[in-house]
A and B are shown apart, each in its own frame.
Chain A
């Protein structure tokens, strides 16, 4: 349960963190990070680097439709965190069924898959005309947080 708390804290902190990030050019990023990234994602487009705390954050899109990706590297080129925009259909079945039960009739938006180390969580926004929730689930469909937006 303790790790969950950390993950949630981390995940939630990210909603607010972007404004503190500082744009940097690729030449300011260590070679190890750049090469690691380039080897892993040779087809990345619209690559933008940011300095985010002690980490190097890279934003890019993949494919023609452009699904957004964000990866945080440490100085040695190890991935610390990864976020990717996914479609609703790509959510695990467990999560989908949970949503179907608890949030039937809600419109889902901004679905993201967040990996930190080996843990994976999914965040999304569920909206009706009246209310709007930010939700977080783990792979097996446990609702980790629910915040009114």
Chain B
């Protein structure tokens, strides 16, 4: 899988590249409009992360170019500008997602993988790992082919972990992803802990081959047993 990161902020570019490499993607980077335009014209990428505000031109213009050459798709806009206009325009021009800075690495992973899976999907929208299967279409969770009942939020939590398997998912990232902005109070990490505890119990009693590890009190990691 080949991913192009178009981001003028070098530190961020490096960090994103570093993180995505851990997912075993092949990463290329571009720091301005010109080089991005050139790379996009020469090569095909499975996924493009595109900053809108670039030296030399707007990322939206790149989107335009891509659309004209029929290479649009699998593109995630990353922008500091949480502007509805830009978001709508970007999505209209064929971007698959819009991610506002700052974001958690886990969130980026999840978005990238969601985009990639949509591309490589063969009619079935599901994640398989170890002895479990998460069917996103039917919203079913199967362990060894047997249905395990999860509530809506538990399903979302598990999905998020599976998109970030073997990666750190901080409590903040998890809370934002699953409960939206509704828990922005620090003392409610207890609530996350409580939710994770329940999910762990269900995984254990169903005999799932995965488990959720706690990492230094800051977050969790889903690993195979």
Q: Do chains A and B touch in the complex (CB under 8 A)?
A: no
Interface residue ranges, A against B (CB under 8 Å): none
Interface residue ranges, B against A (CB under 8 Å): none
